[in-house]
Structure 1
Amino acid sequence: MKSRFSIHSLTSNYALLLMVVFGGFLVFGFSENVKGPALPRMQSELGLDEMQIGLLLAFNSLGYLLACSFTAWLDRKLGLKLTTMLSFGSMALSGLFIYWASNYTSLASAYFFMYIGNGLLEIALALLAARIFTRNTGTMMNLAHFFYGLSSMVAPLIAAHLMGVQLFGSELGWRGMYALMLALAVLPMLPALAAKLPNEETVAEERIPISSFMKDPVAWLIVLVLSFGVISELAVGGWLVNFLEKAYGWSTTASSAMLSAFFVCFTIARLVLGPVTDRIGYTRSLILFSGFSGLCSIAAILVGEGGAFLFAAAGVGIAPIYPTVMALLADRYKGNSGTAITFTVTMMGIASVLGNFAIGAITDGIKRLFADSSDPAGGLVAGLQAGYLFIGFCAILCSLTAYLLYRALSRQKQLI
């Protein structure tokens, strides 16, 4: 009878942990992707110019990177349970701060606080997933990140609908939408409160300091793989619609539909390709998937408008990169996954900011280079093509650095 009770308790706790991880990634996807429909309304209501919007988004990156730098420390000091509860609670609270924002300063502060919560949540979920997905790690990591893709796919549509809802005689607007959507963070807090969250099983003498990671060539190769992959992944959301509208003259509806098709491919890939990564190995998967994505993006530009479907197909290859790298970190650095994930994601965040800046600089530079007073649109199209080619090139670089990682791990006989 005692044995039955123990097995039942273990199973029940695992179910609660899955609810925390899957629910957490759902909330994370919503918080990241409701800003698209909201930003134009914020800009109009508060009278913000493009520079202020750019600074607002820069605060996102700053808050996110700041949180990434101290989440593992919180895990060691407070335990993973309190750290996870703190991340969910701060996100829910940031929704109220955004609701009360009456000017640019208060809005920027609220956004900064929200992205501290986002950074806390991403690292906390990565740490939790690394500790509970000890078997079929690639499959389970991809399944967890499938929920991020699922909410990312529907978040803009839900946000646009909610902002137009009439409540108590007035429109809910962007403030009410943010308050409601971020309040969803309270839901995963309930299973997190009831569950027993695992802390990392390592003694102080076994803990690897972050300075050791900085001296490890393999750790830096993993950073490069993740950085190039994430730059290519995130850039699609910011540049695809813009490219299709201005280069091909597509309508906003048609361009948005192609972006939705990208996210459909992206989400399905995370659901079905997880077992493939476990079967053929993490590094081989990274080489093949990122290479496929890069070739699709580059071919889409070279073929022209007729090859636009390849923009969506690129989502199949780029989708597994982030969760597969997380699975690699969890398996390679057992007992030190907190430090490994924190180091890798923080470096990736810095590289992502630089990468997105590079896309903008390349687009603007080529536009100016090919600008012609008789055909000003020609320079813009050339700039957009060059910028998107760089996005595809980043995916190719992800594949090439994954190959270097494969060779390095092969030499050390540590292939996973």
Structure 2
Amino acid sequence: MEKRPARIQQRLNKVYVLQVATIFVGFVIFGISENIKGPAIPRIQFDFMLSEAQVGTLLSLNSLGYLIACSFTAYLTRLWGIKRVTVMAFASMTIAGVFMFLAQQFGWFTASYFLMYIGNGMLEIALAILGARIFVRNTGMMMNIAHGFYGLSSIAAPLIATGLMKVTIYGYTLDWRGMYLVMLSLSIIPMILTLMGKFPEAEEETAERTPVSTLLRDPALWLTVLILTFGVVSELAVGGWLVNFLEKAYDWDTVSASGMLSMFFVCFTFARLFLGTLTDRFGYTLSLIVFSLASGLCTFGALIFGEPAAFLFALSGAGIAMIYPTVMALIAKRYPKESDTVITFTVTLMGVGSVIGNYLIGGVIEVTKHLYGSDTSLGLLRGLQAGYGVIGLCALLCTVSGIVLYSYLHKRKEIV
């Protein structure tokens, strides 16, 4: 019997299976932690008596935790290895769930949420670096499939969160505090997988790595940062604002609004699982332009045509889903030896954009409400429409940045 090729043998061994399982399940937990906030935020806002601007500030401060984690995770990965850093990330998220459950004051809750985003940031960098190292063939497809597991959990997360908040155990209703405790405790599962696995560390390169100063002079790198930032701000903002928008602008109940958010992630996940192969076929840069444009047009279409076109909010997920993993694939191909450095740099600056983006959305809502009447239903509607319009604008700015990048790379015959 003919012996299997070494590459196939490697892909079937236990080490590789555990690596892939860690990435896939890690993205499941990431999706849960990011998207259970949709149905929880209106209740958090009510319990702590927060304005829309304060909600935007809360989300921005939490994104700051994500940003801080991104800035030091690559260093910790080189110092301690991906395995330890990944375990720390899952542990942070589990502990954050316990603190949220105990939180009775807004300051304590904010600190707990901040800790969760520290874990999210560490996990994001660790999974991205690991993916860049092991997905050496069909990179775009594999990156999109891996990130598709984020979408899978995101589909179910809002509905599960809504259901858990109504569960009563021995006369105690879980509400949003108990829901966060239960959902974030699931981080223990991938933590066990991580402890069982063996992770590839950075190989010692015989050739010198490109100096950071040289990388920073590359216009393509900065354009990649813009694409990733605008794309991710548009993606993540949906989880925080769509349910709030539908409940307050169209008077939807929580179940219906959460269902629309889940439909967003159905489209989101379908795109990553089944359209990722198109990015390898048509090229990463062109794919970024097409998919971000589709998302932006859907978002503005939903706002312009009103409640009957609300399904376009969900459909926009198919376009915006492709941005993050396709950028990671582009980085892995264009900067193969410096992928860890470039990933850290781009994701860190993306975190800055997330902080500004969430704050901007909340601020735009408040300013527009004042223009139309803060205490009127019209003022609330116009404010929410303007705030959500920022999400669509970010998608279109992602398109513009992609066109500029395509033009730059085309002139240099370096299209990726």
TM-score (norm 1): 0.89
Per-residue deviation, 1:358: 2.6
Alignment of 1:155-166 (within 5 A): 155-166=157-168
**Which residue of the partner structure matches residue 362 of structure 2?**
360
CA contact (8 A) 2:368 2:386 kept: yes
Residue deviations 1:290-330 (CA, integer Å, cap 9, x gap): 11111122222333333332222211111111111111111
Per-residue deviation, 1:202: 4.2
2:308 to 298, 306, 309: 306
Residue deviations 1:323-380 (CA, integer Å, cap 9, x gap): 111111111111211110111011111112222333333333333334499xx43344
**Which residue of the partner structure matches residue 145 of structure 1?**
147
Give the partner amino acid of 1:113: L
Q: Pick closer, same or farther for the CA change 1:327–1:107 going to 2, 3 Å.
A: same
**Larger RCO (alpha carbons 8 Å, 6+ apart):** 2
CA contact (8 A) 1:63 1:113 kept: yes
Per-residue deviation, 1:173: 4.4
Q: 2:161 and 2:207 mapped to 1: Cα distance?
A: 48
Q: 1:215 and 1:319 mapped to 2: Cα distance?
A: 29
Q: 2:378 and 2:175 mapped to 1: Cα distance?
A: 38
SS of equivalent residue, structure 2 residue 199: coil
1:111 to 110, 113, 129: 113
2:275 to 273, 277, 283: 273
Alignment of 1:81-160 (within 5 A): 81-160=83-162
Which has the higher mean CA deviation after the structures are superposed, 202-211 or 143-152?
A: 202-211
Q: 1:106 and 1:361 mapped to 2: Cα distance?
A: 24
Alignment of 1:8-407 (within 5 A): 8=9, 11=12, 12-39=14-41, 47=48, 49-50=50-51, 56-167=58-169, 170-203=172-205, 206-371=208-373, 376-407=376-407
Q: 1:48 and 1:302 mapped to 2: Cα distance?
A: 31
Q: 2:49 and 2:370 mapped to 1: Cα distance?
A: 26
CA contact (8 A) 2:63 2:354 kept: no
**Which residue of the partner structure matches residue 414 of structure 1?**
414
Counting aligned pairs with the same residue, the percent is 55
User: 5+ residue gaps in structure 2?
Assistant: none
Give the partner amino acid of 1:234: L
CA contact (8 A) 1:209 1:339 kept: no
Per-residue deviation, 1:42: 5.0
Q: Pick closer, same or farther for the CA change 1:309–1:183 going to 2, 3 Å.
A: closer
Per-residue deviation, 1:168: 5.3
CA contact (8 A) 2:231 2:398 kept: yes
CA contact (8 A) 1:202 1:336 kept: no
CA contact (8 A) 1:200 1:335 kept: no
Per-residue deviation, 1:250: 4.2
Q: Pick closer, same or farther for the CA change 1:55–1:264 going to 2, 3 Å.
A: same
Per-residue deviation, 1:389: 3.2
CA contact (8 A) 2:34 2:239 kept: no
CA contact (8 A) 2:249 2:381 kept: yes
Q: 2:242 and 2:41 mapped to 1: Cα distance?
A: 18
TM-score (norm 2): 0.89
Aligned length: 412
Per-residue deviation, 1:4: 7.2
Which has the higher mean CA deviation after the structures are superposed, 26-35 or 235-244?
A: 235-244
